[in-house]
Amino acid sequence: MANHRSDRVSEDIQRELTAILREMKDPRLHDGIISVVRCDMAKDNSFCRVYISSMNGLGTAKKAVAALKNAQGFIRRELGLRLKLRYAPVLAFQASDSIEYSANISRILNDIDIKPEDDENEDGNA
């Protein structure tokens, strides 16, 4: 049962962290599109690893992680107040390049020129 609760709390933390990121005024967080990709909670909900990604690449994500580490106390307090948790989890931020990676795959797929196959069934031959 505890696993379901940690999954639910993880989703709530991801949603609230996204809202907190929008409200923060640190310029390192507004260099590009910064996103909370995933939150991994410990089973006892005392620790949460948060993966941050940016559309502009891993360098921008690392700058955002540095800003979030500086504001970790503020963010933890806000999470505790917004989610009404007795103990807000310790947050560990980690940069990820998943958004850039998926955008690159999408770009590659869009660049592929697929020619329509000639239908051999049009004239009745199989």
- Spell out the domain ranges in the chain: 2-101
72-83 vs 58-70: helix axis angle to the nearest 10? 80
Asked if the model's pLDDT at residue 5 lies above 80, the reply is: no
Q: How many CB atoms lie within 10 A of CB 96?
A: 19
2-101: CATH superfamily: K homology (KH) domain (3.30.300.20)
Across the beta sheet with 47-54, what order do the strands follow? 34-41, 47-54, 90-96
Q: pTM of the prediction?
A: 0.75
Maximal CA-CA distance, the chain: 72
pLDDT value at 39 more than 60 = yes
Report which DSSP code applies to 123.
G
In this predicted model, what pLDDT tens digit does every residue of 84-126 receive, in sequence order? Answer: 888 889 999 999 887 777 778 888 888 887 777 765 555 556 5
Cα–Cα dist 47/113, whole Å: 47
